[in-house]
Amino acid sequence: MVIDQLQSSRGSSLSLPIKKKHKDASMSESLTAQQLLRIRGKLEAIVADQPGTKHADSATAALQRMRSGEYGYCIECGDEISAARLAARPDVALCVDCQALKDEEDEDA
Ligand SMILES: [Zn+2]
């Protein structure tokens, strides 16, 4: 009887740790508002200059993430993408680790 009670109370209080995607509501510390503006300009230029290309598609997706406040975070694992990486490839959606994994998959396919 006592054991039954213990088990049921343990079962009801079962809770899994929830992984936080963002540390807080503020944007990435490593990207300044000015950098974001410049990156947005680059993305808009890609969409305008190369309509219908894969590059334009990923730039459009990056602009959407920027609007929803998710820009600068890996879409796979939620980690922050470094400002240097974003500056070099503004439409990048994956952190270096996830990109490396994806590249391996692409090679296998
Ligand atoms: Zn990642």
Of residues 65 and 30, more confidence is placed in 65
Question: What integer pLDDT is reported at residue 108 of this predicted model?
Answer: 80
Q: Report the separation in Å between the CA atom of 77 and the middle of ligand 1, taken as the mean of its atom positions.
A: 4
Q: Which two tokens stand for residue 54?
A: 């894969």
**Average pLDDT of every residue of the chain:** 83
Question: What integer pLDDT is reported at residue 31 of this predicted model?
Answer: 83
Residue 98: CATH number of its domain: 1.20.120.910
Q: Report the separation in Å between the CA atom of 11 and the middle of ligand 1, taken as the mean of its atom positions.
A: 33
Q: Report the separation in Å between the CA atom of 80 and the middle of ligand 1, taken as the mean of its atom positions.
A: 8
Nearest to 82 by CA among 29, 24, 26: 29
Structural domain of residue 48, as residue ranges? 29-108
Residue 2 is assigned to a structural domain of this protein:
no
Q: Which two tokens stand for residue 71?
A: 């820009």
Q: Report the separation in Å between the CA atom of 34 and the middle of ligand 1, taken as the mean of its atom positions.
A: 24
- CB within 8 A of 3, min separation 6: which ones? none
Is residue 11 predicted with pLDDT exceeding 70? no
User: How many whole angstroms separate alpha carbon 41 and alpha carbon 39?
Assistant: 5
Residue 6 is assigned to a structural domain of this protein:
no
User: How many whole angstroms separate alpha carbon 92 and alpha carbon 58?
Assistant: 7
> pLDDT tens digits, residue range 53-102?
999 999 999 999 999 999 999 999 999 999 989 989 999 999 999 999 99
Q: Which two tokens stand for residue 58?
A: 């990923």
Band the pLDDT of 29: cuts 50, 70, 90. Answer: low
Nearest to 82 by CA among 28, 41, 22, 19: 28
